Amino acid sequence: MTIRSQMRKWKSNLGWGVAWFGTALVLFGLFHLLWTVLSKGITSFRWDMLTTVTHGVAGGLQNAILGTFELILISTVIAAPLGILGGVYVSEFAHTKVASVIRFLTEVLSGVPSIVIGYFGYLLMVLNWGWGFSALAGGIALTIIMLPYILRTTESSLQQVPLAQREGAWALGMTRFQAISRVVWRPAAGGIATGVLMAVAIGMGETAPLLYTAGWSSLNPTWHLTGHQVGYLTYVVWTYIEQPYPEAHALAYSAAFLLLVIILVIHLVVRILVKRATVAAK
Amino acid sequence: MKRVSSRSKIADQVFLVATGLCASSPILFLLVITGIVVVQSIPSIRLMGWDFLTSVTWNMGSTYGAMTVKNGVPVPAGASYGALPFIVGTLASSVIALLIAVPISLLTAMILAYRVRGVVKSALSIVVELLAGIPSVVIGLWGIVVLAPWVSSSLGPLLTHVGWVIPFFSGPVGTGMGLLTSGLVLALMVVPIITATTRDLLEQVPILYREGGIALGMTSWEVVRLICLPYIKEGMIGAVALGWGRAMGETMAVLMVSGSAINYLPQNLYSPISTMAAVIADQLDSAMTDASHMAVHALSELALVLLVLTLLTNLVARLLVNRSRGTRRAGMGVKAG
């Protein structure tokens, strides 16, 4: 073997070695992060945090947990129909040009910084429409964050349904609406559910769009949609870790821990759904 | 043959219109967001003009004193809104993030695409996706608790040793809350985006091209370096731009570790900074105390600048990534042939 080819082999090994090192670095960062938050979270989490509200820098997280659920509920109720029906249009009805324009602009919308969406919500809904910091303003801000994901996943899972299924439905004399509502959506349902779940996970972790729209409250949320501030978990993580008190830190760690656990569970469910869908497809 | 009843025909039309309206909602949101932010920025644009982009001082003026009129706009005495430190902070922290994240993401994507198979591959892909799904406040929390102390005690002092070559690296390290930590946190957040996009692109490189390289006697590394990377070049630039847009728009994690500097340009790698997104989040309370609402308008202009920057990078990124997805089909043809 010549020296030159040995050098090339050695370079190849070196290159892949560096590549493995890079991968290890990413994995190390992620696991260090997970380990830090989970271990600190477990030690500071108490079950009575689920049943008490925040008092000053201490207390529990009930208001934030319920507030997060209320915000997610509002945003999902708005974003899921918009996104799913929009995805149906892009996949089933739109001409190729129109579809690609909508697809492109939806991707652009998902690139708008979340703080800009929050500030827009503040200017329009909180100030201009006079809703004040409120659940509805926060929910609509989250809707704008979640909508692109739901639309895109709905569209791509409908695209994977074979054309023959639609043709079969049309051949039975169904209109397009009947074909979609009785036949085409079934194989795509898993994918659509996955998209909605992922959007929920994304919405739960958002802070920036809510700072200017939902405000903060240490009381449990009421069903007043406007004029009443709501608390949410990510706010606790952000503000309480910067307080100098150990009780406040415990609350911040617990809130981060809860968020992480919920998001991990959603990811797990999504994985199972996807796996089931691919097994069924086979 | 069963005839289609007029009722189901009407239902069909209603459904078509309803889905069409829903599909146009993202475009509507995009237009309304841009419109509102532009309209609300107008007073601030009239007040500051181009100085907004070049001045260093961000001062709401005396909120207790009398109003003065400057450039035809009533404002508290001494009000001045200069966003230069925030623009510099945004660009500097996101560029540092890219300098760290791009090589790491490329290498990780290469491993994911070519070096692992089966269970390991799907496990690694899930892990990378998981990283993208971690809330930014949680990453910020880790940044405060782990990263900032580490930068302050280990990484910073280490990097100051190269200060005599690059003056920007020297200087007091401080608390660790600053430019470098922001860059590191942002890097962690853009790695999954660039990695996932690049991995998809690498997997689309036609197998024939790679086999051709191997048949010429190339090592597996040379195949990647000389065949695969040039093949995906355009899409890769798009992936980097995508990550850049995300890094510039990221708020919470940066807000938590940046040190929130105001009226101050970064002097070295460890200086406290502030980004446009972080300032918007940080200045809410003070903006609400301004009776003339000029602070609200100035923040709106800041949001406008940020929106324009991220929209531009996103447009370029999507065009590049989508175009190289288009060439994939041509590549598939080669594969089938």
The span from the CA of B95 to the CA of A76, in Å, is 35
Which residues of chain A have a CB within 8 Å of the CB of B283? none
Query: pLDDT per residue over A69-85, tens digit each?
Result: 999 999 999 999 999 99
Average pLDDT over residues A99-125: 92
Over 80: is that where the pLDDT of A95 sits? Answer: yes
List the alpha helices (DSSP H) in A128-184: 135-159, 163-171, 176-179
List the single range of A59-68, B2-11, B29-38 with lowest mean pLDDT. Answer: B2-11
Average pLDDT over residues B120-125: 88
Residue A282 has a pLDDT of 55
Superfamily the domain A48-281 falls into: MetI-like (1.10.3720.10)
Average pLDDT over residues B193-219: 92
Residue B143: pLDDT band with limits 50, 70, 90: very high
Residue B335 has a pLDDT of 34
Best B2, B16, B19, B279 residue to mutate vs chain A (most A CBs within 10 Å): B19
Average pLDDT over residues B216-227: 91
Tokens for B313?
A: 């990078």
A183-187 LR contacts (CB < 8 Å, sep 24+): A184/A92, A184/A158, A185/A158, A187/A160, A187/A161, A187/A281
**How far is B55 from chain A, CA to nearest CA, in Å?**
22
Q: Alpha-carbon dihedral of residues B199, B201, B205, B207, nearest 10 degrees?
A: 40
Over 90: is that where the pLDDT of B112 sits? Answer: yes
Over 70: is that where the pLDDT of A39 sits? Answer: yes
**How far is A51 from chain B, CA to nearest CA, in Å?**
23
> Residue B206: which of B231, B225, B226 has the closest Cα?
B231
Q: Which residue from A minimizes the CA distance to B280?
A: A115
List the single range of A86-95, B30-39, B72-81, B304-313 with lowest mean pLDDT. Answer: B72-81
Residue B169 has a pLDDT of 79
Best A44, A119, A125 residue to mutate vs chain B (most B CBs within 10 Å): A119
In this structure, are residues B90 and B278 in contact, taking their beta carbons and an 8 Å threshold? no
> Residue B174: which of B189, B155, B197 has the closest Cα?
B155
Residue B141: pLDDT band with limits 50, 70, 90: very high
Query: pLDDT per residue over B89-110, tens digit each?
Result: 999 999 999 999 999 999 999 9
Which residues of chain A have a CB within 8 Å of the CB of B18? 85
**How far is A116 from chain B, CA to nearest CA, in Å?**
6
Tokens for A239?
A: 């503000």
Looking at chain A from residue 214 to 233, which residues have their Cβ under 8 Å from any Cβ of chain B? Answer: none
Q: Which residue from B minimizes the CA distance to A15?
A: B221
CA angle, B93 then B305 then B72, to 5°:
135
Beta carbons within 8 Å of B26's beta carbon, 6+ residues apart:
A86, A102, A105, A106, A109, A147, A148, A151
| Residue bearing the bigger pLDDT, B1 or B125 | B125
Over 50: is that where the pLDDT of B13 sits? Answer: yes
What is residue B160's DSSP assignment? G
Residue B122 has a pLDDT of 87
Over 60: is that where the pLDDT of B336 sits? Answer: no
Give me the domains of chain B, ranges plus CATH numbers: 91-275+314-336 (1.10.3720.10)
Radius of gyration of chain A (CA): 24
Over 80: is that where the pLDDT of B23 sits? Answer: yes
In this structure, are residues A54 and A63 in contact, taking their beta carbons and an 8 Å threshold? yes
Query: pLDDT per residue over B222-275, tens digit each?
Result: 999 999 999 998 889 999 999 999 999 999 999 999 888 887 788 888 888 899
The residue assigned the tokens 């089909």 is B329
Say whether A109 and B29 touch across the interface (CB within 8 A). Answer: yes
> Residue B289: which of B43, B70, B61 has the closest Cα?
B61
A130-134, A144-148, B327-331 — most confident range: A144-148
When the pLDDT of each residue in chain A is averaged and rounded to a whole number, the result is 90
The residue assigned the tokens 């690059």 is B166
Pairing state of beta strands A54-55 and A58-59? antiparallel
Could you tell me if A260 lies within 8 Å of chain B, comparing CB atoms? yes
Over 60: is that where the pLDDT of B334 sits? Answer: no
Over 80: is that where the pLDDT of A235 sits? Answer: yes
Average pLDDT over residues B44-72: 79
> Phi first, then psi: what are they for B74, rounded to 5°?
-75, 125
> Residue A148: which of A117, A186, A177 has the closest Cα?
A117
Tell me if ipTM is over 0.95: no
Q: How far is CA A53 from CA A48, A58, A219, A220, in A?
A: 10, 9, 7, 7
Which member of A85, A127, A263 has the closest CB to residue B135? A263
Which residues of chain A have a CB within 8 Å of the CB of B240? none
| Residue bearing the bigger pLDDT, B321 or B87 | B87
Query: pLDDT per residue over A157-207, tens digit each?
Result: 999 899 999 999 999 988 888 889 888 888 888 889 989 999 999 999 999
For chain A, the structural domain boundaries read 1-44, 48-281
Say whether B111 and A29 touch across the interface (CB within 8 A). Answer: no
Over 50: is that where the pLDDT of B328 sits? Answer: no
B65 φψ region: left (φ > 0), alpha (ψ -120 to 50), beta (else): beta
Average pLDDT over residues B3-10: 79
